[in-house]
Amino acid sequence: MHDVWSFHFILLNFYKILLNFER
């Protein structure tokens, strides 16, 4: 289930980027 891990990691990164962009 490496795909799931990658998806989670990408989601986390995306969330962090979004938060940074908003601030």
- The token duo for 23 is 């601030």
DSSP H or E stretch at residue 10 = helix 2-22
pLDDT band at 7 (very low <50, low <70, confident <90, very high): very high
CA distance 8 to 16: 12
Q: pLDDT tens-digit profile of 12-22? A: 999 999 999 87
Q: d(Cα 23, Cα 16) in Å, to the nearest integer?
A: 11
pLDDT at 11 over 80: yes
Please state whether the predicted TM-score (pTM) of the whole model is above 0.75.
no
Per-residue confidence (pLDDT) for residue 3, from 0 to 100: 85
